[in-house]
Amino acid sequence: MNSNDLTSLPHCIALMPNLLSLSCNDNRMKYLPGDIGESKTLEALHVCNNRLMELPDGIGLIGNTLKHLWLDFNNLTALPMSFHKMTALEELKMEGNTDMVFPTIDKIIRGPKVVVAWSKKRFSTSLFARQQR
């Protein structure tokens, strides 16, 4: 679905039982469907050169199947709290997200395992802070 001027994806995309790879590069999407994490089979998600401002928190639900995540050249500023669940992630591309704050570029360039570990620590710290209130 590359280069089709798409502004969104249908919510039912996560329910496609045989979907292994979804490539939606070079479109105009600002958001991914919130239920994309309900996919049971998705191994590769390529959404480079869009206008994504954030990833849905539910994306962490596909953490045990998603191996390749390409997010280059979007408008992302942070990864969702659920990102620590991306345990199967082997490839993470995030170049060109110039406003990225969390994680910092030094973590991103060290690879997906470092980013997932950072996210897990961030989640644990946040959870601890909420429990102290």
The domains located in the chain, with CATH, are: 11-132 (3.80.10.10)
pLDDT at 9 over 90: yes
For residues 7 and 129, the model is more confident at: 7
Please indicate whether residue 99 or residue 129 has the higher confidence score (pLDDT).
99
The per-residue pLDDT for 122 is 84
- What is the spatial order of strands in the sheet that 21-23 belongs to? 21-23, 44-46, 68-70, 91-93
Mean residue pLDDT of the chain comes to: 91
Give the model confidence (pLDDT) of 15-74 as tens digits: 899 999 999 999 999 999 999 999 999 999 999 999 999 999 999 999 899 999 999 999
Classify 58 as helix, strand or coil. Answer: helix
Angle (CA) 97 95 27, round 5°:
70
CB hemisphere CA count around 15 (13 angstroms): 3
Spatial distance between the Cα atoms of 67 and 91, rounded to a whole number of angstroms: 6
